[in-house]
């Protein structure tokens, strides 16, 4: 024991770090910050360390070459002992890290911790969020499969919309004319050198500022932040009602971090690694690319925005969002900290969370996407064909063969790109159906050139049968007067 102490003494005589480290770990923090609400920052740091360790392990096998990356992932999944587990740890770790960073940010925002004098800590935090999302996006590209390949294509398409600089940005992003070897190499460089380097630097700054400025005290309603008095008040608080960070507060961080690590490991063990999906071969176009879960909300947004708003939203949206986050501590650097007296702050967090959750949930089903195989794969529900005429059955056939099913559902199958057609005859008269089929409109292509008159007649006859049993189909009153009632083919199709 004495030997160890003397060696430690020898080292520290030269290094001189023991005293500052002791000061840092024993610095007094307000007692009420030893709360389970204050554990997310340290948990994010611990998950980041897990990402660093597993990332280094993966880099020992992974080959960042467009030709071989996919095969090296297969080797990791199937040949290297527990390679699948390390990949799964890294993949699930990234999901947890994004989630914990977002929760940490929401907590800091609700507790007013970004106010004076912690504005810079918040700003560094915003950049930490951006680098974390940068790691998530570049990491998805490391899994060099079809989703990664087409995801890069989507990234390039978005970048190319930037006015004037678009083509240059695309070339810089791809490293060449197309998504290929140079593209993967530069995203590998970003994912393992540039972004983690920035992340480590920013984490050090962030933690340093937390140590220098102290942990944000528990916000009490009515205790306002004022530049002139805050630091003195905070110092007094730590003297009167303070306790050393270690061990008074740290045990909760330790327990939560360990619990998070265990959660990552459990998910990794039970659910395994993510992909890779199909080979990144651009000539295989039978693919439906989808981003990883942290960008699903963006996928939904790009589908639901009106086309004319897309480019402005894509280019101006991120700039406005980042600027708002960066300006926040300057716009409300003083005043009330407690969420109990900041209803707009609470509403902002709730609205943001609900918007992201709704978009993410929607993107799971992607109702805006056509189902490319519905026309040949989904059967016409039998009850829709019962007691129908030969013409109407011919129409059902036309309906399938012309891929109407790829966008419209019947029964509960088929896509939801267009409206469900189970009750279409109640909504549209025969003439309106013909017009809609032939001319399209309202986001439907015109089929006039691709349907013969006989096919159109059959199709509309079938569509005319699609109404609930007790409900009569839509009729054109004028037609009844001119031709007499019963002339409407809808009527003859009534079951």
Partner 1 sequence: MSNEPVLSRRGLFMKLGILFNGVVATTLGVPIVRFLLSSVTLSRQNAYISWVPLGHVSEFPAGETRLATFRNPFVTPTDGKTADSACWVRRIEGEQFQVFAVNCAHLGCPVRWFPQSGLFMCPCHGGAYYRDGSRASGPPERGLFEYPIKVADGVVTIRAGELPTPAANAALDRERPPCA
CB of 185 to partner 1, least distance (A): 7
Residue from 370, 414, 464, 473 in contact with partner 1 (CB under 8 A): 370
Nearest residue (CB) to partner 1, 248 versus 368? 368
User: Of the ranges 41-49, 63-71, 83-91, 249-257, which one interacts with partner 1 (CB under 8 A)?
Assistant: 63-71
Q: Which of 5, 13, 177, 452 binds partner 1 (CB under 8 A)?
A: 177
Of residues 20 and 379, the one with the C-beta less far from partner 1:
379
Calculate the CA 8 to chain-centre distance: 48
Residue 446 is classified by DSSP as -
402 sits near partner 1 (criterion: CB under 8 A): yes
HSE-CB for 429 with a 13 A CA cutoff: 10
Structure tokens at 146: 């079809």
CB of 56 to partner 1, least distance (A): 22
* Binding string, residues 435-454; x marks residues near partner 1 by CB under 8 A: -----x--xxxxx-xx----
Query: Cα dihedral sign for 85, 135, 63, 46?
Result: negative
Residues in the interface with partner 1 (CB under 8 A) total 67
Work out whether 463 is an interface residue with partner 1 (CB under 8 A). Answer: no
> Which of 122, 96, 120 minimizes the C-alpha distance to 40?
96
Q: Does 475 bind partner 1 (CB under 8 A)?
A: no
Q: Which two tokens stand for residue 463?
A: 């569509």
C-alpha–C-alpha distance, residues 44 and 104, integer Å? 8
SS3 sequence of 180-242:
CHHHHHHHHHHHHHHHHHHHHHHHHHHHHHHHHHCCCCCCCCCCCECCCCHHHHHHHHHHHCE
Among 170, 264, 459, 466, binds partner 1 (CB under 8 A): 170
CB closer to partner 1 out of 33 and 400? 400
Q: Does 158 bind partner 1 (CB under 8 A)?
A: yes
Asked whether the beta carbons of 393 and 462 are under 8 A apart, the reply is: yes
CA distance 84 to 75: 9
Question: Is 62 near partner 1 (CB under 8 A)?
Answer: no
What is the number of alpha carbons within 13 Å of residue 158 lying toward its C-beta?
Answer: 18
Mark residues 209-238: x for contact with partner 1 by CB under 8 A, - for none. Answer: ------------------------------
Give 335's strand partners: 225
DSSP-assigned beta bridge partners for residue 30? 242
Task: Give least dist CB 350 to partner 1, A.
Answer: 28
The whole-angstrom separation of Cα 202 and Cα 106 is: 19
Contact range with partner 1 by CB under 8 A, out of 113-121, 124-132, 278-286, 330-338? 278-286
**Shortest gap between Cβ of 405 and partner 1 (angstroms)?**
11
**Looking at beta carbons only, is 403 or 465 nearer to partner 1?**
403
Query: How far is the CA of 409 from the CAs of 11, 161, 215, 403, in angstroms?
Result: 74, 34, 56, 11
CB of 148 to partner 1, least distance (A): 11
* Binding test (CB under 8 A) with partner 1, winner from 39, 89, 124, 179: 179
309 near partner 1 (CB under 8 A): no
User: Is 301:102 a contact under the CB 8 Å cutoff?
Assistant: no
- Told to check if 153 binds partner 1 by CB under 8 A, we report yes
Contact residues for partner 1 (CB under 8 A)?
65-68, 149-150, 153-154, 156-158, 160-161, 166-168, 170-172, 174-182, 184-185, 279-283, 285-289, 299, 302-303, 305, 307-308, 310, 368-370, 372, 375, 401-404, 406-407, 417, 440, 443-447, 449-450
């Amino acid at each position: 024991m004495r030997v160890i102490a003397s060696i430690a003494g020898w080292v520290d005589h030269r290094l001189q770090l023991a005293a500052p480290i002791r000061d840092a770990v024993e610095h007094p923090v307000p007692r009420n910050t030893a709360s389970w609400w204050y554990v997310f920052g340290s948990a994010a740091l611990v998950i980041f360390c897990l990402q660093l360790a597993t990332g280094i392990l993966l880099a020992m096998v992974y080959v960042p070459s467009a030709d071989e990356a996919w095969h090296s992932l297969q080797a990791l999944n199937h040949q290297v002992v527990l390679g699948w587990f390390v990949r799964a740890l890294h993949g699930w770790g990234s999901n947890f890290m994004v989630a914990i960073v977002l929760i940490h940010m929401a907590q800091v925002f609700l507790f007013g911790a970004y106010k004076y004098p912690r504005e810079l800590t918040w700003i560094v935090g915003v950049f930490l969020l951006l680098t974390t999302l940068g790691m998530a996006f570049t990491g998805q590209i490391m899994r060099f499969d079809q989703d990664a390949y087409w995801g890069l294509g989507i990234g390039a398409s978005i970048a190319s919309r930037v006015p004037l600089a678009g083509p240059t940005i695309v070339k810089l992003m791809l490293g060449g004319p197309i998504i290929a070897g140079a593209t993967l190499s530069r995203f590998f460089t970003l994912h393992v050198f540039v972004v983690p380097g920035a992340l480590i630097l920013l984490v050090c700054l962030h933690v340093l500022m937390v140590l220098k400025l102290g942990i944000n005290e528990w916000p009490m309603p009515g205790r306002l932040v004022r530049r002139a008095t805050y630091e003195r008040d905070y110092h007094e608080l730590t003297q009167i009602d303070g306790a050393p960070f270690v061990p008074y507060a740290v045990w909760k961080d330790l327990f939560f971090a360990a619990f998070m690590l265990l959660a990552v490991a459990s998910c990794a063990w039970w659910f395994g690694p993510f992909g890779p999906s199909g080979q990144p071969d651009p000539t295989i176009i039978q693919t439906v690319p989808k981003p990883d879960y942290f960008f699903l909300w963006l996928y939904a947004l790009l589908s639901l925005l009106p086309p004319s708003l897309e480019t402005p939203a894509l280019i101006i949206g991120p700039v406005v969002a980042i600027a708002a986050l960066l300006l926040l501590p300057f716009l409300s650097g003083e005043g009330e900290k407690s969420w109990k007296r900041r209803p707009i702050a609470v509403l902002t967090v709730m609205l943001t969370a609900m918007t992201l959750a709704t978009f993410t949930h929607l993107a799971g089903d992607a109702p805006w996407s056509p189902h490319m195989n519905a026309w040949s794969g989904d059967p016409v529900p039998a009850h829709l064909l019962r007691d129908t005429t030969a013409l109407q059955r011919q129409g059902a056939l036309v309906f399938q063969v012309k891929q109407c099913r790829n966008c419209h559902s019947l029964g509960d199958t088929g896509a939801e790109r267009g409206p469900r057609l189970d009750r279409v005859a109640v909504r549209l008269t025969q003439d309106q159906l013909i017009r809609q089929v032939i001319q399209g409109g309202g986001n439907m292509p015109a089929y006039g050139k691709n349907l013969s008159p006989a096919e159109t007649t059959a199709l509309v006859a079938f569509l005319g049968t699609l109404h609930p049993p007790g409900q009569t189909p839509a009729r054109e009153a004028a037609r009844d007067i001119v031709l007499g009632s019963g002339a409407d083919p809808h009527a003859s199709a009534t079951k």
